[in-house]
C-alpha cells in the first residue's frame, strides 16, 4: 500500500497535523461490514424492524468501527510524534488502517511504546463501548451497537497483538529483542514470526472454505511481506473481520 496516500486515496481530514486518507478499497470493507450487520447481526437481535432500519444501523455501526480503527492509528501516531518521529499520513484501506512513519523508531524502548499505543487505544474503546452498553436499555439499538463495537475493538486489539511483524505484536517482539540482539537480528526474528503467521492465515482461509467472501492481500511493510485477511460471513451473527493495522516506514 505504498501508494495509499496518492491517487487512489482521498484526503478526508487532518488530525494533529496528520493528513487522514481514505483509500478506494476501504469502501469495499465498509459496505461488507455494514452488509453483515444489516443482514445478520441486527435482524437477529431485532426481528421486527424494516430493511431500511437494519441498513441505517449497519452503516452507522460500520462507520463507528472505522472511527475506532482511525483512533487506534492515532494512538501509534501520537506516541511517535512525541518521540520526534513525523507521521506522513494515516490511511484507511481494505485491511484496516495504516500510519506511515517518516522513519523507524531509534531504539527498542520507543518501538515498544509506539507499538503498544494502538492496541491500548482499542482496549480503552472496548471498555468505553461496554460502559455505554451497560447504560443503554438492555436489548435496545444503542445496546446492540455498543456491544458490537466493544467486541470488535477487543478483536482488533487481540489480532494486532499477535507477535507477527509488522503487526503491533511483532513490533513489540522486535522492541523487546532490540537491546539484546540488535535491530537487524530482532527484525529478522519478528519478520520470520510474521511470515509464519501469514501462512497460518492463508491456511486457515483455505481450510475454512466455503466462505462467501474471503479477501486476501499481501503488502510489503518494512521489507516483511505480510498477509492480512478479511473474512465476512453474511446471514449469521458471527462477523469475522480481521483488521490489520500496521505502520510502515
CB 99 within 8 A of CB 90: yes
Alpha-carbon span 15 to 90, nearest angstrom: 9
Q: Does 248 participate in binding Zn ion (rule CB under 5 A)? A: no
| Near Zn ion by CB under 5 A: residue from 168, 178, 194, 243 | 168
> Residue 37 corresponds to which cell in the numbers above?
450487520
Out of 108, 118, 166, 169, the only residue in the binding site for Zn ion (CB under 5 A) is 118
Is position 245 an interface residue for Zn ion (rule: CB under 5 A)? yes
- What Cα–Cα distance (Å) separates residue 130 from each residue in 32, 62, 92, 223, 231? 24, 17, 24, 38, 24
**Is 192 exposed, middle or buried (CB count within 10 Å of its CB: 0-12, 13-18, 19+)?**
middle
* Segment near Zn ion (CB under 5 A); pick from 77-85, 86-94, 104-112, 156-164: 156-164
Question: Quick check: 244 binds Zn ion (CB under 5 A)?
Answer: no
Q: How many residues bind Zn ion (CB under 5 A)?
A: 4
Q: Which three cell numbers stand for residue 210?
A: 466455503
Nearer Cβ to Zn ion (77/141): 77
Specify which residues 178 forms β-bridges with: none
Active site residue 44: no
Residue tagged 507499538 (cell numbers): 115
Nearer to Zn ion, 38 or 79 (CB): 79
57 or 72: CB nearest Zn ion? 72
CB of 171 to Zn ion, least distance (A): 8
Q: How far is the CB of 108 from Zn ion (least distance, A)?
A: 17
Q: Say which residues have a Cβ less than 8 Å from residue 184's Cβ, sequence separation at least 6.
A: none
Q: Choose one: 44-52, 84-92, 230-238, 241-249; the region binding Zn ion (CB under 5 A).
A: 241-249
- Candidate list 73, 102, 111, 233, residue with the active-site label: 73
Residues annotated catalytic, as ranges: 73
Amino acid at each position: 500500500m505504498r501508494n495509499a496516500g496518492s491517487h487512489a486515496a482521498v484526503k478526508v481530514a487532518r488530525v494533529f497535523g496528520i493528513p487522514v486518507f481514505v483509500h478506494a478499497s476501504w469502501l469495499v470493507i465498509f459496505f461488507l461490514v455494514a452488509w453483515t450487520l444489516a443482514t445478520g447481526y441486527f435482524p437477529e437481535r431485532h426481528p421486527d424492524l424494516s430493511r431500511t432500519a437494519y441498513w441505517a444501523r449497519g452503516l452507522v455501526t460500520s462507520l463507528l468501527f472505522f472511527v475506532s480503527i482511525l483512533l487506534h492509528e492515532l494512538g501509534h501516531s501520537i506516541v511517535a510524534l512525541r518521540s520526534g518521529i513525523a507521521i506522513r499520513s494515516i490511511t484507511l484501506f481494505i485491511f484496516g488502517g495504516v500510519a506511515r512513519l517518516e522513519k523507524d523508531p531509534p531504539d527498542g524502548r520507543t518501538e515498544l511504546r509506539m507499538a503498544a499505543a494502538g492496541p491500548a487505544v482499542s482496549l480503552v474503546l472496548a471498555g468505553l463501548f461496554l460502559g455505554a452498553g451497560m447504560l443503554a436499555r438492555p436489548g435496545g439499538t444503542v445496546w446492540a451497537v455498543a456491544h458490537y463495537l466493544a467486541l470488535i475493538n477487543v478483536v482488533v486489539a487481540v489480532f494486532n497483538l499477535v507477535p507477527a511483524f509488522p503487526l503491533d505484536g511483532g513490533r513489540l517482539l522486535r522492541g523487546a529483542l532490540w537491546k539484546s540482539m540488535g535491530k537487524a537480528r530482532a527484525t529478522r526474528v519478528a519478520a520470520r514470526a510474521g511470515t509464519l503467521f501469514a501462512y497460518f492465515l492463508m491456511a486457515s482461509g483455505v481450510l475454512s472454505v466455503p466462505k462467501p467472501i474471503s479477501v486476501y492481500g499481501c503488502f510489503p511493510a518494512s521489507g516483511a511481506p505480510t498477509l492480512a485477511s478479511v473474512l465476512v460471513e453474511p446471514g449469521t451473527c458471527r462477523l469475522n473481520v480481521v483488521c490489520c493495522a500496521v505502520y510502515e516506514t
